[in-house]
Amino acid sequence: MTSSSTSSRKNLSKIACNRLQKELTEWQASPPAGFNYKVSDNLQRWVIEVVGAPGTLYANETYRLQVDFPEHYPMEAPQVIFMNPAPMHPHIYSNGHICLDILYDSWSPAMTVSSVCISILSMLSSSTVKQRPEDNDRYVKNCRNGRSPKETRWWFHDDKV
């Protein structure tokens, strides 16, 4: 399938590079509320801190997102996972993979890192229970060879969270 797993990552295309630089500039000028970009010189991998929104199950909890950009970003979706420890959430596997359609089938090049982050925070915020997905163990076992979540065939069944 795609060659987007970490090992076979290709360098960013010129257009991807240019766009990411601009996204970063924009982010730094007005970062989405609750997020903090961890400065690094690797444009292809962003680490972003996310703080649970006040009044939600994850209030004041801090997690880290790792965002890897494929060569053909934004035509191709970035790979977004939670770094260890991943928040307890019905759509977040213990290996950090996130079951969220916009990260896969529903990705659109009109989206940005910032908009993806907001979607993820919104997903967290609307959770009513802190628990792993039902098939967590099975899925995580299947991913032990370092498979990218982008190679998973996701079923998006729950529109509520």
Partner 1 sequence: MGNKLGRRRQVVDEKYTRPQGLYNHKDVDQKKLRKLILESKLAPCFPGDEETACDREECPICFLYYPSLNRSRCCTKSICTECFLQMKVPNSTRPTQCPFCKTANYAVEYRGVKSKEEKGMEQIEEQRVIEAKIRMRQQELQDEEERMHKRLEVSSSNVNVAVADVEYNSNAVAESSMSAVEHDEIVSSLDSCATPMVRPPPATRANRDDEFDVDLEDIMVMEAIWLSIQENGRQRNSPFTDATSGHYVTDDRYASSPMGQQTGSSSSPSGGLASAIAALAERQQMSGESSVSSNNESTPSFNMPPGSRRFYNRLGRDMVSYSPTENLTEVPPDDAMAMARSHGQWSIDHGSQVAETATSYTNSVEVEDRGELSSMSQPNDIDESLQSATDPIVPESFEEQMMLAMAVSLAEARAMPSGHSASWQ
Residue 23 makes contact with partner 1 by CB under 8 A: yes
Residue 108 makes contact with partner 1 by CB under 8 A: yes
- Provide the greatest CA pair distance for the chain: 43
Residue 10 makes contact with partner 1 by CB under 8 A: no
Residue 147 makes contact with partner 1 by CB under 8 A: no
Among 18, 28, 126, 131, binds partner 1 (CB under 8 A): 18
Residue 83 makes contact with partner 1 by CB under 8 A: no
Strands 45-51 and 79-82: unpaired
**Least distance from C-beta 22 to partner 1, angstroms?**
4
The verdict on whether 143 is a catalytic residue reads no
**Least distance from C-beta 115 to partner 1, angstroms?**
11
The one-letter amino acid at 48 = I
Omega prior to 85 cis, within 30 of 0: yes
Q: How far apart are CA 27 and CA 31, in angstroms?
A: 5
Residue 84 makes contact with partner 1 by CB under 8 A: no
The dihedrals phi and psi of 81, each to the nearest 5 degrees, come to -135, 155
CB of 75 or CB of 83, closer to partner 1: 75
Output the CA–CA distances (angstroms, integers) from residue 130 to 52, 97, 116, 124, in the order listed. 13, 16, 21, 10
Q: List residues binding partner 1 (CB under 8 A).
A: 13, 15, 18-19, 22-23, 74-75, 106, 108-110
